[in-house]
Amino acid sequence: MAKINFGGTEETVVTRDEFPLEKAREVLKNEVVAVLGYGVQGPAQAMNMRDNGINVIIGQREGTANWDKAIADGWIPGKTLFNVEDAAEKGTVIQYLLSDAGQRSQWPSIVEHLNDGDMLYFSHGFSITFKDDTGVIPPPHVDVALVAPKGSGRSVRQNFLEGSGINASFAVHQDKTGRAEERTIALGIAVGAGYLFPTTFEKEVYSDLTGERGVLMGAMAGVMEAQYNELRQHGHSPSEAFNETVEELTQSLIRLVGQNGMDWMYANCSTTAQRGALDWKNKFRDAVAPVFKDLYQSVVTGNEARITLEANSQPDYRAKLDVELAAIRDSEMWRAGAAVRSLRPENWKKG
Interatomic CA distance for residues 26 and 7, integer angstroms: 35
* CATH code of the domain covering residue 225: 1.10.1040.10
Does the pTM surpass 0.85? The reply is: yes
Residue 351 — very low, low, confident or very high, per pLDDT cuts 50/70/90? very low
* Residue 141 appears among annotated catalytic residues: no
pLDDT, one tens digit per residue, over 114-168 is 999 999 999 999 999 999 999 999 999 999 999 999 988 999 999 999 988 889 9
Mark whether 134 and 273 lie in a shared domain. Answer: no
How far from the centroid of its chain's Cα atoms is residue 200's Cα? 16
Q: Are residues 18 and 99 in the same domain?
A: yes
Residue 348 — very low, low, confident or very high, per pLDDT cuts 50/70/90? confident
Residue type at 254 in one-letter notation:
I
Kindly state whether residues 183 and 248 are assigned to the same domain: no
Is position 87 within any domain? yes
**Same domain, yes or no: 67 and 192:** yes
Listed residue (282, 284, 255, 289) closest to 269, CA to CA: 255
Do 174 and 232 lie in a common domain? no
Alpha carbons 125 and 170: distance in angstroms, whole number: 10
d(CA 285, CA 271): 21
Among the options 124, 141, 173, 234, which is catalytic?
Answer: 124
Residues 19 and 158 grouped into a single domain: yes
State how beta strands 143-149 and 166-174 pair.
Answer: antiparallel
Co-location of 140 and 223 in the same domain: no
The gap from C-alpha 288 to its chain's centroid, in whole angstroms, comes to 24
Can you say how many angstroms the Cα of residue 136 is from the centroid of all Cα atoms in its chain?
A: 20
Q: What angle do CA 300, 306, 308 make, to 5 degrees?
A: 105
Contact criterion met (CB below 8 Å) for 32 and 93: yes
Closest CA to 123 of 170, 67, 85: 170
pLDDT tens per residue across span 182-209:
999 999 999 999 899 999 999 999 999 9
Chain segment 10-53, per-residue pLDDT in tens: 888 998 898 999 999 999 999 999 999 999 899 999 999 999 99
On whether residue 97 sits in a domain, the answer given is yes
CA distance 235 to 237: 6
Percentage of the chain surpassing pLDDT 70? 99
